[in-house]
Amino acid sequence: MLSAELNPHADFAFVGDSKMPGKVTVSLIKADVGSIAGHSRPHPKMMEAASSVLAKGVKDGLLNDYYVTRCGDDIQLLMTHTKGENNKQIHELSWNAFMSAAGEAKKMHLYAAGQDLLSDAFSGNVRGQGPGAAEMEFEERPTEPMLVFMADKCGPSAYSLPVSKIFMDPFTTTGLVIDPRAHLGYDIEVVDVVDHKKVLMSSPAELYDILALLGDTTRYAVKRVLHRTLGLAATISTEKLNILAGKYVGKDDPVMLVRCQSGFPAVGEVLQPFAFPQLVAGWMRGSHYGAWYPCGVNESDPSYHDGPPRVCALGIQITDGKIQGAEPPGSKPGDHSPVDYFAGKEWDLVRNKAMEISIYMRGHGPFMPGIVSPEDLEYTTRPEVLKKLEPRMKPLD
Ligand code: F6R
Ligand code: MG
Ligand code: MG
């Protein structure tokens, strides 16, 4: 607990002040298990199938609450429980929810049914089996605002730039300068998604070193952000699906959870960097650079060259271990109305810019930088082309 003079909002509480005994875990687990007319959106029946499995999870006492949503062709399972991160039962429940949704997709002969479920049987943890997961366990504050980010058609490092701005850039988050609690800085866990290594680094002390790694979006990504006294601030799914499968099976389409306010960045500080339509790798065939397009969930169907890559942001409260949105309090588990932050008109300007940039990038056709570097192409014919040309290849004069 921070001292009173460090707390300009003394009526707001910090980690350790929770009314709820024990900790809550928020698990956000996602997978693409099929969609309508290409890689667009899951059928409502698939969402219903996933919801019924999670509803049973509540009945069986595994979950406190849940919300099933989507971004583009990915189904997102947002769950609260008290079982901690990487819990086998919670991961198995999610696996079963995706299997059930994939079953519906198969019945309707939808496209890519079961795509991200890389094995026939659950092996103990969804990580490494196809789905992506962002999970955080923490002691609930008396008021616990949270942002849930979901992206489609892009890789796990897509969040690195906005996260760097949110937690390390005082020109984005004025709170880093003027809020004594934020002024303490953050620790950033950076993962090497290729060699499966991680390192915890301190901002602002190691800011330039952190950026020296994160700037290479082909290899490094932020996994977690920790506040020195308030605990976990953000967590991101960093599973690199194409590498896991050893062959192309889909995009990584990462998710992120961010705790906000009262010493953590304000909701507005977290959303602000998304006004820059950064180029992210992914998009069509996971092989192009396109400009990130912030939008509401209902607007997240890819429509231009299977994109452009989308990002959605939902606002919720975690209340006594459950999800609270704009729905009446005490609504039944699963029934929630989060704030759909990027649905508003103020983001039209960014969307228009993102479209303009994406159309410009398409002007490159199959040339770099319109397409990603050869090692990052998720589809390639280069080995065969080179093999065919081998007898005709001559040394340079
Ligand atoms: C999938 C995706 C799409 C596909 C593309 C080709 O998440 O982003 O861009 O890569 O539609 O798909 P296939 O090879 O299934 O015809
Ligand atoms: Mg897909
Ligand atoms: Mg997707």
**3-class DSSP state of 289:** strand
Over range 12-21, report the average pLDDT. Answer: 39
Region class of 262: left (phi > 0), else alpha (psi between -120 and 50), else beta = left
Is the per-residue pLDDT at 7 higher than 60?
A: no
306 lines ligand 1 (CB under 6 A): yes
For the chain, percent of residues with pLDDT exceeding 90: 82
pLDDT value at position 314? 99
CB atoms near residue 180 (< 10 Å): 14
Which residue's C-alpha comes closest to atom 10 of ligand 1?
A: 285
Beta bridge partners of 315: 147, 339
> What residue ranges do the domains of the chain occupy?
22-388
Q: CA-to-CA distance for 232 and 238, rounded, in angstroms?
A: 16
Atom of ligand 1 nearest to the CA of 72: 7
Ligand 1 lined by 362 (C-beta under 6 Å): no
Q: What are φ and ψ of residue 258, in 5° steps?
A: -130, 125
The token duo for 280 is: 């992210």
Handedness of CA 367, 369, 370, 375 (dihedral sign): positive
pLDDT of residue 17: 37
pLDDT per position as a tens digit, 169-200? 999 999 999 999 999 999 999 999 888 899 99
Find out whether the beta carbon of 181 lies less than 6 Å from any atom of ligand 1. Answer: no
Q: Which two tokens stand for residue 284?
A: 């069509």
- SS3 state of residue 61: coil
Instruction: Please report how the helices 207-214 and 160-168 are oriented relative to each other, as an axis angle in degrees rounded to 10.
Output: 170
Is 285 a pocket residue for ligand 1 (Cβ < 6 Å)?
yes
Token couple for 376: 């990052």
- How far apart are the CA of 75 and the centre of ligand 3, in A? 8
Q: Is 38 in the pocket of ligand 1 (CB under 6 A)?
A: yes
Q: Taken in order 359, 75, 123, 256, is the CA torsion positive or negative?
A: positive
pLDDT at 51: 98
For residue 131, how far is the Cα from the chain centroid? 11
Atom of ligand 1 nearest to the CA of 111: 15
Supply the residues annotated as catalytic.
32, 248, 251
* Average pLDDT, integer, range 264-271: 98
Q: Tens digit of pLDDT for each residue in 291-307? A: 999 999 999 999 999 99
Q: What is the distance between the alpha carbons of residues 301 and 55, in angstroms, rounded to a whole number?
A: 26
- In short, whether 378's Cβ falls inside 6 Å of ligand 1 is no
Query: In angstroms, rounded to a whole number, what is the distance separating the alpha carbons of residues 224 and 189?
Result: 5
Q: Are 371 and 288 in contact (CB under 8 A)?
A: yes
Q: 3-state SS of the chain: helix, strand, coil percent to 5?
A: 30, 25, 45
Q: Ligand 2 centre from 232 Cα, in Å?
A: 30
How far apart CA 331 and CA 395 sit, in angstroms, is 73
pLDDT at 11: 34
Question: In this structure, are residues 81 and 364 in contact, taking their beta carbons and an 8 Å threshold?
Answer: no
Three-class secondary structure of residue 317 per DSSP: strand
- Of 152, 289, 293, 306, the residue with max ligand 1 atoms within 8 A of its CB, to mutate for a pocket test, comes to 306
pLDDT of amino acid 2: 33
Of the ligands numbered here, which is closest to the C-alpha atom of 70? Answer: 3
The answer to whether 130 and 114 are in contact (CB under 8 A) is no
User: Residue 3: what pLDDT?
Assistant: 35
- Dihedral angle of Cα 271, 276, 279, 280, to the nearest 10 degrees: 0
CB 57 within 8 A of CB 93: yes
108: pLDDT confidence band, cut at 50, 70 and 90? very high
* Among the listed residues 11, 23, 247, 47, the one whose alpha carbon sits nearest the alpha carbon of residue 135: 23
**Residue 365 burial (CB < 10 Å; 0-12/13-18/19+)?**
exposed
